[in-house]
Amino acid sequence: MRYGTDPSRYSLLIHPAEVHDEWVYIQVLLGHPSPDPSDWIEVPPTIILTGWATTAMLPTTPIAEGNLAGALRIPIPELHPLPPIQHKWFDHEWKTGNHRPIM
């Protein structure tokens, strides 16, 4: 989360080329003081699951100007809340010195 810690100030952004019929889009925000994932080993990031939207909920008109021009935008407060979830951790054996470079 680069621009603040309040999730309600963010939006789900989808580029038109990434829109598919009958898909469900889930917005996830990641908070950590460092943008370098290798720093996340010592201090795990905070993951915020903000909500979900269907393809039908996406606006038909993309953002016209600025850095996000061309993207379809739904503000997080307009997303459906996720139900309680159970998560399972998939261990990639991510350890210092034992990881793939991030491209």
Residue-by-residue pLDDT tens, the chain, 103 positions: 778 888 899 999 999 999 999 999 999 999 888 888 888 888 889 999 999 999 999 999 999 999 999 999 999 999 999 998 887 777 666 555 555 555 4
- Domain assignment present for residue 103? The answer is no
Q: Which domain holds residue 41?
A: 7-78
Does a structural domain hold residue 28?
A: yes
- The helix/strand/coil state of 44 is coil
The count of structural domains within the chain is 1
Residues near 30 by Cβ (< 8 Å), separated by ≥ 6? 1, 45, 46, 47, 48
Tell me, what's the pLDDT at 94? 56
Q: Is the dihedral of CA 71, 74, 80, 86 positive or negative?
A: positive
CA 13 to CA 75: how far, in whole Å?
9
- What pLDDT is recorded for position 53? 97
In a domain, 51, yes or no: yes
In a domain, 92, yes or no: no
